[in-house]
Structure 1
Amino acid sequence: MRKKLLSSLLLAPCLACAQPSYPFVVKGRIGRLDAPAKVYLMYGARVDSAWLRNGKFELKGTTDLPFPAELVLERQGKRRDKLHGEGAYFKSPDRTTVMLEPGPVVITSSDSLRNAHITGGSLTADYQQLHTIEDAIFSKPKTAPQEQLQAYIQAKKAFIKANPSSWMSLYVLWQLNQVEQPQYAEVAPLYEAFSSALRNSEPGRRYGELLQGLQATQVRAPVPAGDLTGTPAPAFTQPTPDGQPVSLVNYCGKYVLIDFWASWCGPCRKENPALLQAYNIYHGRNFEILGVSLDDEKSRTKWVKAIADDHLPWTQVSDLRGWKNQAALLYGVQAIPQNFLVDPMGNIVAIDLHGEKLQTTLAQFIE
């Protein structure tokens, strides 16, 4: 699966800042458990905890916006969620999702969080409605995975349309970035229908910035070879590993594939042989690739090493700001690998070209 910028709001504390404070209470009873049994509440970058006394527990706090959080039960007390090696993460299995919202959220279970009954306010009700819809979609064994995915996407969008004032709708709109590349024409109307409270929140404003990038890079219609009428590609300048500034305007008069990637992105590295093959075929035919890395200062050495290890002969640039890379923000990049094909007139004529699609599309444009 492609690496995501916002894999989940549960893991995105940057989306929970500079907001009014919302008090919350999460309490309940899990059988008759006593210490050392403990529950952990994880939200944003914070972790709260409480011992169980005769099965009962209570957690209080404030959150910057109504927010999904994970509640984890550890019968021996010690929190076991842990990163094991690169990309491997152990998640303690007895857990559930709760919504941090004004008013108490109550957990009731005879044995575990996985089997708990949860009651709360409107956000909890919205979450449970979505969970029921998802269960109905993915519980049909004879349905093809792609059909299930499309049903899932359509159900989420239908929920957003029906609930434009729900915080859950904003959460779900971000969540959809995990399963499909957002298209401006589809997601902009959903966002514009949101209440002002949602649009003006921190995650709402960030999604508005994403839309600006999507609008600036959308391909309005298929563009055949010789018909140079695409979307103007946003200009940017960034340094190479040795500090030399390179601008997109340097590629005027050529087809250039702007490739967003990173050294730590497994799917990107797997994509590099296909890029190299396309480069070798079309490089002598007015075609270039410009690599833009979403590495940061800490991974600079790994970025340079990945260029050498993958034998990438084309120019590579990065401002080493990670997901805050200015070119990535301009282009509305939400997942990598991602790329944009720019024609000799500086227009974006195709996006998201991977595998065979890359070769097929280049053949259509380049003689």
Structure 2
Amino acid sequence: MKQLLLSLLLAGPGLALAQRPAPAPAPITYTLRGTIGKLNAPAKIYLVRPAIMDSATLKNGVFELKGHTDVPKEMVLILSRNGNLRQHHLWEDAPEARDAIRVFLEPTPVVLTSPDSLRHATVQGGPLTTDHRQLLAALQPIEDQQNALDAAYERAPKEQQQRPEFKQPLLARQQALRAERDQRRAAFIKAHPGSWVSLEVLQKFGSVPQYAEVAPLYEVLSPALKSTPPGQEYARMLQAIKRVAIGAEAPDFTQLDPAGQPVRLSSLRGKYVLIDFWASWCRPCREENPNVVKAYHEFKGRNFDVLGVSLDSEKSREKWLQAIKDDQLPWTQVSDLKGWQNAAAEQYHVLGIPQNFLLDPSGKIIAVNLRGEELRAALARYLQ
């Protein structure tokens, strides 16, 4: 259980238009300083997003980090008491699960104080820090409930973890928490339209951003934020996801099946089709495959089909073929074996997997990102 891209002409109604690119903003100088008890070397503080950006050794509990950033942004501070933090271990757990804390870089110095741990530190700074702490406080109850769900899953025996009657209620609750988290983020953006924190929140809104949800939130942002390079980048992303939003005609593509035969999406016109983006190395994809298999067998006789599109690469071709066999995926599978550069994935603006698009018989996108019981319920509704 354990998700930014202003073209010069935006076609969407209500979206502000940019007449010319804004000049790059001057870099801002940030300062992060703090006192964490009486810690000394080898204890170190690391600044991370997501790679290690800087570090400082504590002396009598005191540390200070200074640097430059192109725009204000959220970062993570991690305290390593032995001074070691290996790059590939950074995100094995969420920051809340280790001695870490989220901070927002801004021109005003940010000061952290705690008698013992970093994640329980008091944080003070300028107006962006105030906004950021307000947002985190609003989201904390959701994070606490999510952590409790994760703990319940991890405590369960491996066999129980695989049982649908155990997993489905947890997944349903997780989906409800994600919806509530997005509601609170949306409320924050509407209440703080001129804050850099709101732009950061919007960039992270939803595991898979949906045009109908995020375009109105982008419109809420102040003209000053929209004119910044990140604001313009996000507007370009909006234009990209609009092309594959619900109601749009699905872009056609052709890729090869495992036997090397070309398969064209439009050849499936006349059926309801689920385009399923996945990969053999993607654990969440593999965990979701049984749900898709179940839905396929239930509805395949009712004008429904699935087209799997793998983000595997040439190096993982054999693993892709083995995963098809192991997961018993009976529908057509295709790939260009270019990994994240898969041409169809780029057409559909796939930034994370699993991700799927449900098409009606005319080739129009009618639903996106359906998982578990949501997929079955949608198919039952459309194929009744």
Q: TM-score when scaled to structure 1?
A: 0.77
Task: For residue 167 of structure 1, report the CA deviation from its aligned partner.
Answer: 1.7
Does the residue aligned with 1:232 lie in a helix, a strand or coil? coil
Q: 2:219 aligns with which of 192, 204, 209?
A: 192
Seen in structure 2, the aligned counterparts of structure 1 residues 295 and 198 have a Cα distance that, compared at 3 Å, is farther
Matched to 1:72, the amino acid is I
Instruction: Determine if the alignment matches structure 1 residue 117 to structure 2 residue 130.
Output: no
Distance 2:94 2:315 in 1: 24
Residue aligning to 1:223? none
- Could you list the per-position Cα deviations for residues 252-291 of structure 1 after superposition, in whole angstroms to 9, with x for gaps in the alignment? 2333221122222223223323333443454455432111
Partner residue in 2 for 1:63: 69
* Change over 3 Å in CA distance of 1:238–1:165 after alignment to 2: farther
Change (3 A) 1:216 1:35: same
Q: 2: distance between equivalents of 1:247 and 1:123?
A: 49
**Map of 2:165 onto structure 1:** none
Question: Aligned partner of 2:191: which letter?
Answer: A
Distance 1:269 1:67 in 2: 34
CA change 1:207–1:299 in 2 (3 A) is farther
Long gaps (5+) in structure 2: 5-23, 146-172
- Which residues in structure 2 correspond to 1:232-243 (within 5 Å)? 232-243=249-260
CA contact (8 A) 1:83 1:90 kept: no
Please list the CA deviations of residues 94-125 of structure 1 after superposition, one character each: whole Å capped at 9, or x if unmatched: 22222222232222233332332222222211
In structure 1, C-alpha distance between the alignment counterparts of 2:315 and 2:53, rounded to whole Å: 26
Task: Note closer, same or farther for the CA distance 1:269–1:76 as it changes in structure 2 (3 Å cut).
Answer: closer
Contact 1:213–1:329 (Cα < 8 Å) also in 2: no
Structure 2 Cα separation of the partners of residues 262 and 79 of structure 1: 29
Counterpart Cα distance in 1 of 2:52 and 2:279:
28
Contact persistence 1:177–1:334 (CA under 8 A): no
Give the stretch that moved more between structures: 31-40 or 73-82: 73-82
One-letter amino acid of the counterpart of residue 220, structure 2: A
Q: Which residue of 1 aligns with 2:107?
A: 102
Find out whether 1:305 has 2:325 as its counterpart: no
- Counterparts of 1:306-321 in structure 2, within 5 Å, are 306-321=323-338
TM-superposed deviation, 1:61: 1.8
Q: Deviations over 1:12-42 (max 9, x none)?
A: xxxxxx9753322212222333222222221
Q: Aligned runs of 1:200-349 on 2, under 5 Å?
A: 201=228, 203-220=230-247, 231-349=248-366
Of 51, 57, 61, 1:51 maps to 57
- Give the 3 Å change call, closer, same or farther, for CA 194–78 of structure 1 in structure 2: same
Structure 2 residue aligned with 1:25: 31
Distance of 2:129 and 2:49 partners within structure 1: 15
Cα 1:362–1:80 shift into 2, 3 Å: closer
Distance 2:368 2:329 in 1: 21
What whole-Å deviation, never above 9, does each CA across 1:285-334 have from its counterpart, x for those lacking one? 54321111233455443222211221223222234444454433433445
**Distance (whole Å) between structure 2 residues aligned to residue 73 and residue 357 of structure 1:** 40
Q: Distance in 2 between matches of 1:319 and 1:100?
A: 40
Give the 3 Å change call, closer, same or farther, for CA 32–359 of structure 1 in structure 2. closer
Q: Distance in 2 between matches of 1:358 and 1:75?
A: 46
**What is the DSSP-based 3-state SS (H/G/I as helix, E as strand, rest coil) of the residue aligned with 2:204?**
helix
Q: Distance in 1 between matches of 2:194 and 2:342?
A: 31
SS of the equivalent of 1:62 reads strand
1:35 to 33, 38, 41: 41
User: Which has the larger displacement, 349-358 or 43-52?
Assistant: 349-358
Residue from 176, 198, 201 that aligns with 1:172: 201
8 Å contact from structure 2 (residues 46, 52) kept in 1: no
Q: 1:264 to 1:81 in 2, by over 3 A?
A: same
Displacement of 1:127: 0.8
- Number of the residue aligned with 2:184: 155
Q: What amino acid sits opposite 1:217 in the alignment? A: V
Distance in 2 between the 1:145 and 1:268 partners? Answer: 17
Change (3 A) 1:247 1:172: same
Aligned-partner SS, 1:168: helix
Partner-residue secondary structure (3-state), 2:251: coil
Which whole-Å deviations, capped at 9, do the CAs of 1:112-160 have from their partners, x for residues lacking one?
Answer: 32332222222211111112223466789xxx88776554332211110
- Decide whether aligned partners of structure 1 residues 127 and 288 sit closer, same or farther in structure 2, where only a CA change above 3 A counts: same
Is this contact kept in 1: 2:106–2:128, CA < 8 A? yes
- Alpha-carbon separation, structure 1, partners of 2:230 and 2:80: 31
Q: Would the alpha carbon gap of residues 263 and 234 (structure 1) be closer, same or farther in structure 2, given more than 3 Å must change?
A: same
Identity of aligned residues (%): 52
Query: Residue 132 of structure 1 corresponds to which residue in structure 2?
Result: 137
> Which residue identity lines up with residue 218 of structure 1 in the other structure?
A
CA distance in 2, matches of 1:25, 1:273: 49
Question: 1:336 is paired with a residue of what secondary structure?
Answer: coil
Report the CA distance shift for 1:236/1:167 in structure 2 as closer, same or farther (over 3 A).
Answer: farther
